[in-house]
Structure 1
Amino acid sequence: MKERNRSGSAEASLLALATEVFGVDARAWLETPHHFLSGATPSAFAADGGVERVRSILLAIHYGGAV
């Protein structure tokens, strides 16, 4: 149960950050394959343990940094 809560918390955190970056298009971004994630969707990549990579991409987009 603890692992599930942590996963849900990470997903909620990514959705909140994506919403800050993309507004109403956040869910669409999370479900669109991304070339920096080997063609995986950000949500699938995060679910497979890549939460920090997805967060890094979102922060780079938000603040204009390099990915």
Structure 2
Amino acid sequence: MAESDDASDSILPEPIRSVTPLTGPHPDAEMDVIGWGIFLGLMLLLVPLLPFIIVVWLISKLVEALTPS
């Protein structure tokens, strides 16, 4: 009886066959445009904030160096 339980658990259903042909790798220009747009948008937001981020980072390192541990 244990053999029949193991056999029923390990049988996978037949894969579904598709009538559309598989496509190979191809360039996806639309997704490239979206990716570049997101990247440029982030750069427009982060580049002006970069000096403030550097100042806060330097102050935190200075405070960390001056406080006794």
Structure 1 and Structure 2 fold alike (TM over 0.5): no
TM-score (norm 1): 0.31
The structure with the larger Rg is 2
Higher helix content, 1 or 2: 1
